[in-house]
């Protein structure tokens, strides 16, 4: 079974702080993704990575950056947290081989910026 | 511009009856579609998928129908059970793309006992 682990379930930070959200997958997947989920807006893609040290912007990258130094780990960074970044953050991974495959999600990090 | 739309934010169905969740898309390049189920405080879990070469895919109580000409897909759950109460997301992707999916806004299904 694929396991995608997000380091924190709940996180409370202050405006202006630099925030790190960590995600680790154990299935040797090439692709990793960061989404945020907000009521009425569904899942919106922030960034994704299809290989180590490779990254591409998703639909809402502003205010975020990512890091992928190792294949199994994908970090989301809020450079200077703001209250409008309060949200549920979801990490996912998927393989490249075999064509399009479902993404496997972690349980999410509920982040509150005060 | 919402490329994948789920126009019903919520749906209530009696236990044992059929649940039908709908999804519309605008991009004709989409050719692979998935449904995910999400419980509160958990990540979405993959439910069922369909490729554009098919118009129906079935897995137990879950069936997905694809109407390419109408750019519409639907998820049928028969019979509905209280444990099916969750938020359902449809997602779409295009082959030859970057393995990313576009998600709809979700439909909250409540199955009443």
pLDDT of amino acid A79: 93
Contact between B100 and A44 using a beta-carbon 8 Å cutoff: no
| A40 burial level (CB within 10 Å; 0-12, 13-18, 19+) | exposed
A94 contact residues in B (CB cutoff 8 A) = 99
pLDDT of amino acid B2: 77
Q: Which of A43, A56, A57, A88 has the highest number of chain B CBs within 10 A, making it the mutation to test binding with B?
A: A43
| B91 burial level (CB within 10 Å; 0-12, 13-18, 19+) | buried
pLDDT of amino acid B109: 98
pLDDT of amino acid B1: 67
Q: Does B99 touch chain A (CB under 8 A)?
A: yes
Give the tens place of pLDDT for each residue, A29-71. 999 999 999 988 989 999 999 989 889 999 999 999 999 999 9
* CB hemisphere CA count around A8 (13 angstroms): 16
The region of weakest confidence among A71-75, B50-54, B97-101 is B97-101
Tell me the C-alpha distance between B49 and B35, whole Å. 6
B107 contact residues in A (CB cutoff 8 A) = none
Q: Does A90 touch chain B (CB under 8 A)?
A: yes
In chain B, the percentage of residues whose pLDDT exceeds 90 is 81
The region of weakest confidence among A18-22, A40-44, B19-23 is A40-44
Tell me the C-alpha distance between A2 and A104, whole Å. 7
Q: Which of B3, B96, B101 has the highest number of chain A CBs within 10 A, making it the mutation to test binding with A?
A: B101
Calculate the average pLDDT of chain B. 93
| CA B73 to each of CA A40, B2, B76: distance values in angstroms, whole numbers, following the listed order | 20, 16, 10
Q: Are A25 and A3 in contact (CB under 8 A)?
A: yes
Give the tens place of pLDDT for each residue, B41-73. 889 999 999 999 999 999 999 999 999 999 999
Q: Residue B60: which residues within 8 A CB-CB, separation 6 or more?
A: none
B44 contact residues in A (CB cutoff 8 A) = 43, 90, 105
Q: How far off is chain B from A103, nearest CA to CA, in Å? A: 8
DSSP 8-state secondary structure symbol assigned to residue B97: S
């Amino acid at each position: 079974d694929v396991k995608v682990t997000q380091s924190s379930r709940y996180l409370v930070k202050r405006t202006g702080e630099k925030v790190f959200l960590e995600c680790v997958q154990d299935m040797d997947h090439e692709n990793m993704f960061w989404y945020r989920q907000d009521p009425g807006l569904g899942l919106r893609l922030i960034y994704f990575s299809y290989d180590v040290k490779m990254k591409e912007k998703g639909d809402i990258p502003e205010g975020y950056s990512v890091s992928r130094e190792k294949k199994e780990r994908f970090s989301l960074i809020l450079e200077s947290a703001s209250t409008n970044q309060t949200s549920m953050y979801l990490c996912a991974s998927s393989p490249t081989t075999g064509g399009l495959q479902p993404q496997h999600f972690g349980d999410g990090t509920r982040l509150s910026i005060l | 511009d919402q490329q994948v739309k789920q126009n019903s934010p919520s749906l209530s169905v009696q236990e044992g009856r059929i649940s039908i969740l709908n999804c519309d898309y605008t991009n004709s390049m989409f050719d692979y579609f998935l449904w995910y189920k999400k419980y509160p405080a958990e990540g979405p879990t993959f439910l069922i998928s369909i490729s554009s070469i098919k118009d129906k895919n079935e897995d137990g109580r879950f069936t997905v129908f694809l109407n390419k000409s109408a750019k519409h897909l639907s998820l049928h759950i028969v019979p509905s059970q209280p444990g099916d109460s969750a938020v359902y997301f449809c997602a779409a992707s295009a082959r030859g793309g970057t393995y990313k999916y576009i998600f709809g806004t979700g439909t909250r299904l409540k199955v009443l006992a």
